Structures are given as C-alpha cells and as structure tokens.
Chain A
Amino acid sequence: MSSASSLSPTTLPADWRDFLALTKPRVMTLVVFTGLCGLLAAPVTIHPVLGFTAILCIALGAGAAGALNQWYESDIDAVMKRTAKRPLPAGRMERQSALHFGVGLACFSVILMYFAINLVAAGILAVSILFYVFIYTIWLKRRTPQNIVIGGAAGAFPPMIGWAAATGDVTTLPILLFALIFLWTPPHFWALALFVKTDYANAGVPMLPVVAGERTTRHQIGLYTLPMVAAAIAPWWLGLTGNLYGVTAIALNAIFLAFAAQVAFRASAPGDTMAPEKRLFKYSILYLFLMFGAVVADRWFA
C-alpha cells in the first residue's frame, strides 16, 4: 500500500468537479443564454421538454468544445496566470481523460440533438464544435492575430441552433443574430487582450495587441464596433423585430459605441489601470445578454 504522502494528484482519478471545470461553465452560460434566446425568438413554439433537450445539447456541445480546447491548449494554459489553475495545467487530470471526455461529450450532444430534435440543429451543432476545435483552437489561435475574428464564428452558432431546433430551418433573423455575436467577438476579446497582454505574450499566443501593438488594436476595436452596431440594428431596420427591440438596440449600441470610442482614441501610459478597457469588456458581456433578452422580449411581449 502506498503512503498518503507519496500520492501525487495524477495518481488519483480526476475529480468530477475537474471534468465540470473542463467544460468552461462560465463561458457556457452565455452560449446557453444565446441559444435559448434563438429558440424563444423563433416564430414556432416548441414543447418544453424538447426545448430543454435542445438547450441541454447546446450546453453539452459547448462543454465538449471547451474540454477539447483545454486538452489541446494545456501547454499554453500552464504559462498564463488566468488559466494556470485549470485541471490539466494544474496536474489534476491526465490529458487522455480530457480528450476522451471531450470527444465523448461532443458525439453524445450531436446524436441526442439529432434523435430528439432535428437534423438541421444537430448539423449546425456539429459544425460549431468542429469549427471551434479544428479551425479556431488547432489552426488559427497560435498562427494569426485574426484568430478570434474568424474563431468568433464558433461562439455565434448557438442562437442559430436554438432557432433551428424550434423551426427546423434557418432564416434571416438567426443569421443576423449570428452576425451580431460574430462581430461582437473582436471588440470584446481585444478589450480583454489589452489588459492581459503580458499573459498572452508569455504564452506565445499572437493576439493582436502582442503582434500589432496597442494602437492598432484600439483602432480595430473601433472599426469592428461599427459593423457590429449595424448588425444589431438590422433586425429592426428590416422589420424582423418590433420597436421594443429597436429602441433597446439603439440605446445599448449608443453606450457600446461611446465605450469603444473611449478605448479606440486613447493611449495607455505606463502603470495605466486600463479602466476604459475593463469597462468595455464588462459592458460587452452585459450588452450581449441585454440584446438577446430584447429579441425575446420583443417576440413575446411587444
């Protein structure tokens, strides 16, 4: 019998909480919320049990993608302060377990979506998982500073999946909701990258502030905010939503534009607390929740 002191974390089987941590539960909340909004914004009502199943599949698919992302990136997670305590870099789990868990969960979520809901939703879910793992994590993230621009598409699929789960097809509104998240991702992540730049630089991840510098990043944040605002207001402009959404969108986007402009037109000094960047990052999360909440509120209450 081995003594207690000789037990290293890797000789213990991984705890179930570590598997849960692999799924990035905090990221999942936004994915689940936007997926639920896509489902609730659809013009067709879905049975609550099937709706719950669809959202569960979206959550499991997102969790699987997160687990596979952590499996592939355990080396760079280990050198970044923000991610060093994750189960793999902390040595609480073997990489093989994370891989098996991720692949198993991905297959399970897509198969359940197909049998319980429909082929279209299952197909988009499969594409989103594959896109996140192969296009973003494996191909783009370590190669180009445009990683999150293209990779942002992976996080933009949930409202489309939710809509497809309810209706069985994809129309203009879910495509615009996809575009909104897709165009929201660069300002959101680059605001974060501006104040955790050192972390990314140490890990060798070519985030825009590391590769092109702060000035370019700030300009890009400003530039990407403009099409994002256009995509946000387009559903109302095209008559796909009512005035409740329109008024909310205009107000929320005006605030976003103001915060983004503050970031775009300033330069940080040594020892800067980066308050405007942190404010933009925090507001961008609230913004997305409120925008999608407005889509649902407009559909149900307007």
Chain B
Amino acid sequence: MTKRDDDLIRGRNAAPAARPAEPALTGDDAVRARQRSRATVMALLLGAFVILVFAISIVKIQIAHG
C-alpha cells in the first residue's frame, strides 16, 4: 500500500483514523475517486486530440491549396 493509496483511502493529510470529525473514504469511495481522476485526465487528453486533429486538417488543407 503506497502513501498515495493511503491518502486516497483516509483522505489527503488525514489525521490518524481515531479522529471521528474527518470521515475516512470507504473502499468504494477510493475506487470512485481513482476512476474519476482517470476519467478527467482521459477527457482532457481526448479533447486535446480533437483540437490537434482539427489543427492538422486545417494545415494540410492550407498546404494543399498553397
């Protein structure tokens, strides 16, 4: 178990588990949090790829007509 996994499960900068005021992430919550961060990164990458393909298309059209 890495520190990052501990952070995810217990909450980043979490105090020792005995403190009741800060509820710890459950196993499912940790998985959801990990999936959410991966999905966000994937969405950003796909968005960037769409923009790149658009830009390449424009450049290729310009070159073909230039």
> Which residues from chain A sit less than 8 Å from chain B, CB to CB?
1-4, 6-9, 11-13, 15-17, 47, 49-50, 53, 56, 90, 92, 116
Chain A nearest CB, measured from B53 CB (Å) = 8
Q: Is the CB of B5 within 8 A of A1?
A: no
Q: Is the CB of B41 within 8 A of A16?
A: yes
Q: Is the CB of B37 within 8 A of A4?
A: no
Chain B nearest CB, measured from A88 CB (Å) = 13
| Chain A residue, CB-CB nearest to B29 | A4
Q: What would 8 A/B residue contacts be, using CB atoms closer than 8 Å?
A: A7-B1, A11-B27, A11-B31, A12-B31, A49-B56, A49-B59, A50-B56, A92-B2
Contact of B26 (CB < 8 Å), options: A4, A8, A9: A4
Given A15-B34, A50-B56, list of 8 further CB < 8 A pairs? Answer: A1-B28, A9-B2, A12-B30, A15-B4, A16-B38, A50-B59, A53-B52, A116-B56
Contact of A7 (CB < 8 Å), options: B30, B37, B41, B56: B30
Q: Is the CB of B37 within 8 A of A2?
A: no
Most interface-central of A7, A13, A90 (chain B CB within 10 A): A7
Q: Is the CB of B30 within 8 A of A4?
A: yes
Which parts of B28-59 form the interface with A (CB within 8 Å)?
Answer: 28, 30-31, 34-35, 37-38, 41-42, 52, 55-56, 58-59
> Which residues from chain B sit less than 8 Å from chain A, CB to CB?
1-2, 4-5, 8-10, 24-28, 30-31, 34-35, 37-38, 41-42, 52, 55-56, 58-59, 63
Chain A nearest CB, measured from B26 CB (Å) = 6
Q: Is the CB of B59 within 8 A of A47?
A: yes
Q: Which B residues are CB-close (under 8 A) to A17?
A: 4
Contact of A8 (CB < 8 Å), options: B1, B24, B34: B1
Chain A nearest CB, measured from B35 CB (Å) = 6
> With the chains together, A8 CA to B41 CA distance in Å?
23
> With the chains together, A13 CA to B26 CA distance in Å?
15
Contact of A13 (CB < 8 Å), options: B34, B59, B63: B34
Chain B nearest CB, measured from A133 CB (Å) = 23
> With the chains together, A15 CA to B55 CA distance in Å?
30
The 9 A-B pairs of least Cβ separation, nearest first, read A2-B27, A16-B41, A4-B9, A49-B59, A7-B27, A49-B55, A116-B56, A13-B34, A47-B59
> With the chains together, A15 CA to B4 CA distance in Å?
9
> With the chains together, A218 CA to B35 CA distance in Å?
50
Q: Is the CB of B30 within 8 A of A15?
A: no
Q: Which A residues are CB-close (under 8 A) to B58?
A: 49
| Chain B residue, CB-CB nearest to A53 | B56
Q: Is the CB of B31 within 8 A of A4?
A: no
Chain B nearest CB, measured from A75 CB (Å) = 20
Most interface-central of A2, A49, A53 (chain B CB within 10 A): A49
Given contacts A8-B1, A9-B5, A49-B59, contact A15 B38 (CB under 8 A): yes
